[in-house]
Amino acid sequence: MEEDDDSDDDACCPRSPVTLGPSPSIGHEHGLARLLKNNRKWSKAIRERQPDFFEKGSKGQQPKVFWIGCSDSRVPENELLQLAPGEVFTHRNIANVVVSTDLNCLSVLQYAVDVLKVEHVVVCGHYGCGGVAAALGDQSYGLIDHWLANIKEVKHQHLLNLEKIRDQEDRCRALVEINCRNSVLTVAKSPIIRAAWERGQSIEVIGMVYDIQRGLLSELGYHVSNADDLACHLKVNSNELFEARKECAELQKL
Q: Is residue 70 among the annotated active site residues? A: yes
Q: Find the part of the chain contacting Zn ion (CB under 5 A) among 10-18, 52-60, 127-135, 187-195.
A: 127-135
Q: State the greatest distance between any 2 C-alpha atoms of the chain, in Å, as a whole number.
A: 65
- Check residue 129 for interaction with Zn ion (CB under 5 A): yes
Q: Is residue 138 among the annotated active site residues? A: no
Residues 6+ apart with CB under 8 A from 168: none
Minimum CB distance to Zn ion, residue 129 (Å): 3
Question: Phi first, then psi: what are they for 63, rounded to 5°?
Answer: -70, 145
Catalytic pick among 30, 34, 74, 156: 74
The helix, strand and coil proportions of the chain, stated in percent and rounded to the nearest 5, come to: 50, 15, 35
Tell me the per-residue interface mask from 130 to 149 with Zn ion, x by CB under 5 A, - otherwise: -x------------------
The whole-angstrom separation of Cα 18 and Cα 4 is 21
Q: Is residue 145 among the annotated active site residues? A: no
Minimum CB distance to Zn ion, residue 104 (Å): 17
Q: Is residue 28 among the annotated active site residues? A: no
Cβ proximity to Zn ion: between 127 and 222 the closer is 127
Residues 6+ apart with CB under 8 A from 233: 181, 184, 185, 188, 222, 224
**Ligand-binding site membership of 126 (annotated):** yes
138-175 CB burial, b ≥16 within 10 A, e <16 = eeeeeeeeebbebbbebbeebeebbeebeeeeebbbbb
Q: 3-state class of 207 per DSSP?
A: strand
Q: Is residue 40 among the annotated active site residues? A: no
Catalytic pick among 126, 171, 173, 181: 126
Q: Find the part of the chain contacting Zn ion (CB under 5 A) among 44-52, 124-132, 141-149, 154-162.
A: 124-132
**Ligand-binding site membership of 129 (annotated):** yes
Residue of the chain from 72, 151, 179, 184 that contacts Zn ion (CB under 5 A): 72
Report which DSSP code applies to 5.
-
Site for Zn ion in 157-216 (CB under 5 A): none
Residue of the chain from 33, 36, 70, 196 that contacts Zn ion (CB under 5 A): 70
Catalytic pick among 129, 171, 181, 245: 129
Q: Count Cβ atoms below 10 Å from residue 71 Cβ, excluding itself.
A: 12
Q: Count Cβ atoms below 10 Å from residue 202 Cβ, excluding itself.
A: 11
Residues that bind Zn ion (CB under 5 A): 70, 72, 129, 131
Q: Which residues are catalytic?
A: 70, 72, 74, 126, 129
Per the annotation, binding residues are 70, 72, 126, 129
Per the annotation, binding residues for Zn(2+) are 70, 72, 126, 129
